[in-house]
Amino acid sequence: MARFKTLDQAEVRGKRVLVRADLNVPTKDGVVTDTTRLERLVPTITALAVKGAKVVVLSHFDRPKGKRVPEMSLKPVAQALSRILGRDIAFADDCIGPVAAAVVGALNDGQIAVLENLRYHKGEEANDPAFAKELALLGDVYVNDAFSAAHRAHASTEAIARLLPAFAGLQMQAELEALAAALENPKKPVMAIVGGSKVSTKLDLLANLVARVNMLVIGGGMANTFLYAQGVNVGNSLCERDLADTARQVLAKATALGCQIILPQDVVIADALKPGVASTVVGIDSIPPGQMILDIGPASAKTISLQLGMCKTLLWNGPVGAFETKPFDQATLSIAHEAAALTKKGALVSIAGGGDTVAALNAASVTNDLTYVSTAGGAFLEWLEGKELPGVKALAI
């Protein structure tokens, strides 16, 4: 991992500190419905304010595509952040120009402002140097605390970091250190669990992981494609039959690299994916025509848990079944509880991320029991794929 400057190296008293945050939170009728990202921003903002910085928060919200869309204003989000921080927050109706400059200029040391949606300006997503310069005029120091936006080369994540002294925020630092511990210098053996519906969306991830981990568990709809590639009749299950050759190539690469692939040995089947539907556990060689695989079976879940007990590091991206619909959540929940128990005992370093994975961990009530759970979606996945993230690269020293 590239070296980067952290907040403890930053002199910020009396300075205007531009904090790139991720305030792109879910809302309904103007009310924030999930404050997780806001809560994770609190340590960085608080640390800067306590040090006497004038904290100026930058973020995008939704996809206004360079236009001012009232429904995509950050003002309601700023109000929610104010309540969470227990501090007054000023709000500027623009993120550049005289309006923003007036709000920033009125800040005293330790005070906080949120500027309007960066994506109201086309220059943000275009990574326009001129737009980045206008943002930089508002600050003396730049802090990126938005790992979830670091996979995008935008003006507020990439170009601006080259114009001001740049530092990683506390959340960014924690995320990078957790991922480095899991991928770059992990305690071995390492297990990765990769789930989700389609192999096609995670080919780069699988190719990178088989070269880095000792055991790779493949679950969810993805597993059906691998089973089909091995000659298993998967009935009416979700399956990318055209990727059978690709699946066999992944299996061959894993064998060549000494990575053990763990596929289901039994599965939970039903004739439809809906709550309360009758379901049955069968071996993978006994799937009747017309039935769908909707979860891995209890024997498969037990095998994964036993193997996990022999590992020192876990990377998890994607549930192993259709966990949103009961009873097809059972295997994912049981593995989550085992990972949490091993982590609490100090026997496992557990790193998980991705929207569905976080939702599954929340459903199991173990999110806080794992070593690190990333709220980043695309950025977390691209890091696991071994790709360079522009927002991280820009912080490198």
Show which residues are catalytic: 37, 198, 355, 378
DSSP conformation letters of 65-99: TTS--GGG-SHHHHHHHHHHHTS--EEES-SSHHH
Looking only at the bridges linking them, the beta strands covering 266-270 and 280-283 are antiparallel
Phi, psi (5° rounding) for residue 245?
Answer: -65, -40
Residues 6+ away with beta carbon under 8 Å from 346: none
Separation between Cα atoms, residue 116 and residue 108, nearest integer Å: 20
Q: Encoding tokens for residue 376?
A: 């980043």
Do the beta carbons of residue 380 and residue 146 sit within 8 Å? no
Task: Give the integer Cα–Cα distance in Å for 144 and 150.
Answer: 9
Spell out the alpha helix ranges (H) of 90-169. Answer: 97-105, 122-125, 129-136
DSSP 278: -
- Give the residue among 292, 266, 265, 258 at the shortest CA–CA distance from 278: 292
Write out the H or E segment, with its range, that includes residue 20: strand 16-20
- HSE on the CB side for 161, CA within 13 Å? 27
- Measured CA to CA in angstroms, residue 175 lies from 178, 179, 391, 392 at distances of 5, 6, 13, 11
| Residue labelled with tokens 């419905």 | 33
Query: 């996990």: which residue's tokens?
Result: 308
- What is the C-alpha separation between 266 and 330, in angstroms, rounded? 13
Q: Which two tokens stand for residue 6?
A: 């952290």
Amino acid at 256: A
